[in-house]
Structure 1
C-alpha cells in the first residue's frame, strides 16, 4: 500500500479548495442547508497557521488547518472524503495538527463541528477532547458542537 504523506500547502491551494467545496456540499446535504455559508465560518487567511494536505501518491485523501483564535489555535476544515474514511486518516491529521499546535505554544486546541457528524464527534471524544459551550464565532450556527483539548508544550505533562 502506498504510504500517506502530510504536506504543508498554502491555505488557498487549489486541491484544498476543491476538497473544502466537496466538504461544503456534503455538509449541505447532511444538514439540509449550506453549513459553511455563515459569516461565522469565514476564515481570515492571516489567521491560518498551517494548512495540511494528506496525499497517498498523487491522490489527495484529506486536509485540515489550524488558525489562531485568541490565545488558542483552532482546527479548521478537517476533511477526509468518503472514499478515504475508516482508514485512520482523520486521526492522523488530527494528531499532526495537535503536534503543530503544541510546538506553536498554544495552550488549548479548539474545534467546532456539527451535531450530525457522528464520526467526527466520536473521533474528537476518543482523542481526548472535552465538549465545551459553543464559543464565538459559532453562537449563531445551528447544530454547533464545540470541543477543547488542553495541550502540553513539547510533550511536557
Structure 2
C-alpha cells in the first residue's frame, strides 16, 4: 500500500461537477492499494499518517501531528500510485489490487483514520477533480512495504 500525504490549508473533491467532500487545515492522502495488501498494511498506513509530525509548532519546526492541530484528512483512492513505468512509456498497473479487494481495504483505511481524526473521502473508482491548497508545499511518501 502506498500513500502520498500532502499538508493542506484546505482541500475538496468533486464528482460530476458536484462537491462530495471538503476539509480545512489538514492533509490530503492519495492511497494506492497493491495486490496482496491486507489489514496489516491498512493498520501501518493509518498509524503512520495519523502520527506524522508535519505541522509546525510555535517555533516553526515540523513537530506536530494532525491530531495535535485538530486537523482533518481527505482520503482519495488512486490506483495509479501503483503504476510501473520502468519499461516503456505507458504505465502498467498489474501491481494494483483488483477493485473489489482494493475498495474493502480503502474503506478500512478511511475507518481506521476516522477513529482518530475526522476523515472524509472521495468516491472509489470515480473520475474525480481534487482541489488542493498545498501548504509548504509538504509532500510525504509512505509505503507499507517500506520501499521508501
The normalised TM-score by structure 1 is 0.35
> Structure 1 or 2: larger strand share?
2
More helix by share: 1
Bigger relative CO (Cα 8 Å, ≥ 6 apart): 2
Structure 2-normalised TM-score? 0.37
